[in-house]
């Protein structure tokens, strides 16, 4: 040891001493660097994010494991695929969250403040401007009835294509290929009262929510956000399932038995009931089999094992839908992709956002997908028409969703859509339950609708619009369009006696006004023929009573 010390003696061998110091510091530096790199790499792992940071809200890592991006590390979205130096600077801003982690003072529901732009995250892997084409979506649904009746929903999704250089697009991805800007007034971007589209030629058109318009001062101060991928695909990293869909998916996968009567109905009621805490919901789910047996004793016989298994699956559902923090559920995390359970697309396409010419942002269904079609019997082959021709100009009008009910007629529509059948029983293209038997968040196709001519009363409320309109927005008002006078009736001109208020009542009121004889009571109110001969005239000339049984008043009146 003394020889080694002497060999590096600072006074006798100063050069050797300096070299020793350099070597020692180099070793320490390399060791520190190696440790720093390992620490840096560990803090970039999803394991670190889930255990060290997000253990305070465990529903987020759980949802991440069930997402399409489960193999994508958290930092790739929350830090972005950027240079390491920039990533380090971004990560240091997260230190402000450290006190909240230590003292568990996170706000609920938790929102991400560190999402990078799509250019730094999504678009490092995905190119929205590329050609994507259309895809066919086939989804199985189950009704909440005794047989958990299976329906298959077919729909063509028009993901589309785009061209950034020419600023044109088609289908869903048109929104990010074109320049669309908006102002949101809430953190989750559910309220969007102002939208601006800049066309390829540089001209711009602004749409405002006519129910809740922003003032010029609010627009001036508002943050104008350019629409990007995550404005619609906001739950791709952390999806929270919907009760109905998580049940349908589990039945389709075979995790739940479709043969258990009323399974969908009972599970749906279980998952949508109000609970004070997750613990209370888990307790109810654990007793699902017992409650089912009590409610359906005959149906539960021989199914004890299946029902016990269903209870375990129900508890898994609860953990995915109802969170540890009281009062926080899947409903607190809106999903903007679509418009079935949350406003989503209807944040802008709601028929309320209009420009200066009072034209609304288009809400036409077939801009982004085909009309959904349901097959109730798989033994019947379903045909989905793929139109390769340009649709009529009417289909592109901003009001088409609201006007198609009066524009429909067999002559013009039948060549593409087949026989026009109305209703919601899925018996034809126009009898779609997905359209006519569904309430959409924030979209009301009957919003502020009043019939411009006659009030819609009685049977007229049940009639289809096109039965009178016959493809025209302003048809000539004529009862004979739909009604035919009985043989031997008084007149062919229905309106001379009747109004849409009701044939019997309006005729009696009219005769009362013309004759001065009250017809408000007695048989004449309900049956004109009790007094009038069908071959007679509606109003006799003075002194002429031909056709009127006025000499038989005793039919109704005592002398």
List all residues 6 or more positions away from 187 whose beta carbon is below 8 Å from its beta carbon.
111
Q: What stretch of H or E contains 352?
A: none
Cα–Cα distance, 330 to 342 (Å, whole number):
11
Which of 280, 300, 332 terminates a domain? The answer is 332
Asked if residue 51 and residue 38 are part of one domain, the reply reads no
Buried b (16+ CB within 10 A) or exposed e, 398-423: bebbbebebbbeeeebeeebeebebe
pLDDT of residue 73: 86
End-to-end CA distance of the chain: 146
- Give yes or no for a contact between 118 and 228, defined as CB atoms under 8 angstroms apart: yes
Per-residue pLDDT tens listing for the chain (559 residues): 565 555 555 566 676 667 777 888 888 888 888 888 888 778 788 878 777 766 667 788 888 888 888 888 888 888 887 767 677 777 777 777 778 777 777 777 777 777 788 888 888 888 877 778 788 888 999 999 999 999 888 888 888 876 655 555 678 888 888 899 999 999 889 999 999 999 878 899 999 999 999 999 999 999 999 999 999 999 988 899 999 999 999 999 999 999 999 999 999 999 999 899 999 999 999 999 999 999 999 999 999 999 999 999 999 999 999 998 888 899 999 999 999 999 999 999 998 999 999 889 988 888 888 888 887 765 555 555 555 556 788 887 878 888 888 888 888 888 788 777 777 888 777 888 888 888 888 887 766 566 766 667 767 777 777 777 777 777 776 676 677 776 666 666 676 666 665 555 555 555 555 555 555 544 444 455 555 555 544 444 444 444 444 445 555 566 5
pLDDT of residue 503: 58
Asked if residue 33 and residue 55 are part of one domain, the reply reads no
**Can you say whether the dihedral through the CA atoms of 279, 281, 282, 287 is positive or negative?**
positive
Q: Can you tell me which residue has the tokens 């003032």?
A: 215
Asked if residue 309 and residue 253 are part of one domain, the reply reads yes
Asked if residue 33 and residue 104 are part of one domain, the reply reads no
453: in domain: no
Cα–Cα distance, 151 to 372 (Å, whole number):
12
Which structural domain, as residue segments, surrounds residue 500? 494-555
381: in domain: no
- The rounded radius of gyration (Å) of the Cα atoms in the chain is 35
DSSP string, 38-94: HHHHHHTSHHHIIIIIGGGSTHHHHHHHTSTTTTS-HHHHHT-S--HHHHHHHHHGG
Cα–Cα nearest to 330, from 315, 320, 344, 340: 320
Cα–Cα distance, 197 to 552 (Å, whole number):
76
Domain count for the chain: 5
137: in domain: no
Q: What's the pTM?
A: 0.77
Asked if residue 327 and residue 249 are part of one domain, the reply reads yes
pLDDT of residue 268: 97
209: in domain: no
Encoding tokens for residue 511?
Answer: 């005769």
Cα–Cα nearest to 430, from 391, 477, 464: 464
Asked if residue 313 and residue 257 are part of one domain, the reply reads yes
Which of 83, 102, 124 terminates a domain? The answer is 124
Asked if residue 283 and residue 310 are part of one domain, the reply reads yes
Asked if residue 311 and residue 299 are part of one domain, the reply reads yes
Q: Is 304 helix (H, G, I), strand (E, B) or coil?
A: helix
pLDDT of residue 496: 65
pLDDT of residue 433: 83
- Give yes or no for a contact between 158 and 368, defined as CB atoms under 8 angstroms apart: yes
Cα–Cα nearest to 175, from 231, 217, 132: 231
pLDDT of residue 221: 93
3-state secondary structure 233-288: CCCCCCCCCCHHHHHHHHHHHCCCCCCCCCHHHHHHHHHHCCCCCHHHHHHHHHCH
Asked if residue 327 and residue 263 are part of one domain, the reply reads yes
Q: Are strands 204-209 and 134-142 parallel, antiparallel or unpaired?
A: unpaired
Centroid of chain to Cα 43: 37
Q: Is 96 helix (H, G, I), strand (E, B) or coil?
A: helix
53: in domain: yes
Cis peptide before 165 (omega within 30 of 0): no
Diameter of the chain measured on Cα atoms: 152
pLDDT of residue 271: 96
Cα–Cα distance, 35 to 12 (Å, whole number):
36
């Amino acid at each position: 040891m003394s020889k080694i010390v002497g060999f590096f003696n600072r006074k006798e061998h100063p050069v050797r001493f300096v070299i020793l110091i350099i070597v020692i510091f180099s070793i320490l530096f390399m060791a520190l660097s190696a440790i720093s790199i390992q620490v840096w790499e560990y803090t970039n792992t999803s394991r670190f994010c889930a255990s060290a940071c997000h253990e305070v809200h465990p529903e987020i890592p759980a949802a991440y494991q069930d997402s399409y991006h489960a193999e994508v590390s958290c930092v790739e979205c929350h830090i972005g695929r950027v240079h390491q130096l920039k990533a380090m600077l971004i990560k240091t801003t997260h230190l402000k969250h450290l006190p909240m982690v230590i003292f568990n003072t996170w706000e609920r529901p938790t929102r991400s403040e560190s999402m990078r732009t799509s250019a730094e995250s999504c678009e490092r892997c995905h190119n929205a401007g590329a050609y994507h084409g259309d895809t066919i979506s086939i989804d199985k649904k189950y009704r909440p009835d005794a047989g958990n009746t299976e329906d298959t929903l077919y729909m063509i999704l028009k993901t589309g294509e785009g061209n950034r250089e020419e600023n044109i697009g088609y289908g869903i991805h048109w929104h990010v290929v074109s320049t669309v800007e908006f102002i949101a007034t809430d953190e989750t971007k559910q309220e969007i009262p102002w939208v601006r589209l800049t066309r390829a030629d540089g001209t711009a058109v602004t749409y405002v929510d006519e129910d809740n318009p922003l003032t010029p001062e609010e627009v001036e101060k508002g943050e104008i956000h350019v629409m990007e991928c995550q404005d619609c695909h906001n739950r791709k990293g952390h999806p929270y399932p919907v009760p109905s869909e998580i049940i349908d998916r589990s039945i389709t996968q075979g995790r739940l038995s479709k043969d258990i009567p009323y399974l969908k109905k009972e599970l749906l009621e279980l998952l949508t009931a109000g609970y004070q805490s997750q613990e209370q919901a888990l307790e109810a789910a654990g007793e699902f089999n017992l409650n089912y047996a009590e409610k359906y004793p005959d149906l539960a016989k021989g199914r004890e094992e299946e029902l016990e298994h269903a209870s375990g699956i129900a508890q898994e559902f609860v953990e995915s839908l109802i969170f540890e923090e009281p009062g926080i559920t899947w409903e607190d995390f809106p999903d903007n992709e679509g418009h079935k359970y949350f406003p989503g697309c209807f944040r802008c396409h709601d028929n309320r956002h209009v420009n200066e010419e009072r034209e609304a942002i288009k809400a036409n269904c077939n801009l982004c997908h085909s009309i959904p079609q349901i097959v109730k019997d798989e033994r019947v082959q379903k045909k989905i028409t793929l139109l390769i021709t340009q649709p009529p100009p009417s289909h592109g009008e901003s009001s088409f969703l609201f006007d198609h009910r009066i524009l429909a007629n067999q002559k013009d529509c039948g060549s593409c859509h087949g026989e026009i059948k109305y209703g919601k029983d899925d018996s034809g293209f126009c009898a779609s339950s997905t359209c006519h038997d569904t309430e959409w968040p924030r979209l009301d196709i009957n919003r502020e609708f009043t019939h411009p001519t006659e009030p819609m009363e009685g049977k007229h409320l049940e009639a289809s619009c096109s039965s009178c309109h016959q493809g025209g927005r302003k048809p000539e008002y004529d009862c004979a369009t739909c009604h035919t006078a009985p043989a031997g009736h008084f007149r062919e001109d229905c309106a001379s006696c009747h109004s849409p208020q009701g044939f019997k009542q309006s005729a009696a009121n009219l005769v009362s006004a013309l004759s001065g004889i009250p017809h408000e009571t007695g048989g004449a109110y309900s049956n004109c023929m009790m007094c009038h001969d069908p071959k007679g005239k509606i109003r006799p000339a003075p002194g002429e009573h031909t056709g009127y049984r006025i000499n038989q008043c005793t039919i109704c009146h005592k002398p």
